[in-house]
Amino acid sequence: MRVSRLYTATPLATGKQVELDDDNGHYVRTVLRLKKDDKIILFNGKGGEFLCTVAEVSRKTVLIAVEQWHDRTVESPLQITLGLGISRGDRMDLSVQKAVELGVNHITPLLTERCVVQFKGEKKPQRLLHWQKIVQHAAEQSGRTVLPELTAIEELHNWVGRQQGLKVFLDPYADMSLANMTPTDMKVTLLTGPEGGFADHERNIATTAGFIPVRMGSRILRTETASLAALAAVQMLWGDFGADDGK
């Protein structure tokens, strides 16, 4: 029987009991419908995971007994940073979710000239919290034990200058392809635009910062497709998609 996995920010240690926060407690109680003595796996995103037992389930409290530590990882040897031009609604949610499943390590939502999403008042922290929840749930589902970092929303021109490794931005009109490149120190930074793509001056900003324009085939891809295709491609070329696991 499959044991459910749950992310918690709470420190975990073998032999201790932890009380789940309200959101996780609600999930265990009403969605998973776990009872006392049922098994569950907890991880806090720092690496590894704990096999646990439900110690108490009530309307107000869910207590978990932390039992056995497993030093398990499914991380790729390739370190991937993704600068993700903010797109609308479900498109952005899908991009964040699937990026986590595909092994991204760092995600930064980027404001660009053709970004159609407007952030007013409390909208920016609310959206960031929403995306953080997506990151957590995707890590739970995909079996990851290290939680990818979702950083604050930034302007494109502020973000590009701090990036490291092989730096590429996705451009359907570029001449280069990923197959002609080699990552630096097993680090890759991918930059992808919103629905309307990059403006000319943003392309100049990126190339001045050392980003190389690359194309993903001869077709123009939607923004949510382009980032995921690039992530899958770099994992196949230099990450763990092409790894022989001996099975």
pLDDT score, position 246: 45
Residues ≥6 apart with Cβ < 8 Å to 88: 116, 117, 195
Q: Is 213 helix (H, G, I), strand (E, B) or coil?
A: strand
| 52 and 63 Cβ atoms separated by less than 8 Å | no
pLDDT score, position 144: 96
Residue 169's identity, in one-letter code, is: F
Find out if CATH 2.40.50.140 is the number for domain 79-237: no
pTM: 0.90
Residue segments in the chain with a per-residue pLDDT below the cut of 50: 246-247
pLDDT score, position 122: 66
Q: Can you list the positions of beta strands (E) in 132-235? A: 149-150, 154-155, 166-170, 187-192, 212-214
pLDDT score, position 247: 44
pLDDT tens-place string over residues 153-168: 999 999 999 999 999 9
Fold match between 5-70 and 79-237?
A: no
Give which of 72, 44, 219 is closest to 136, Cα–Cα. Answer: 44
User: Which CATH architecture is the domain 5-70 placed in?
Assistant: Beta Barrel (2.40)
**Ranges of each domain in the chain:** 5-70, 79-237
pLDDT score, position 245: 54
**Angle at the Cα of 227 from the Cα atoms of 152 and 114, rounded to 5 degrees:** 65
pLDDT score, position 1: 66
Classify residue 46 by its DSSP letter.
Answer: B
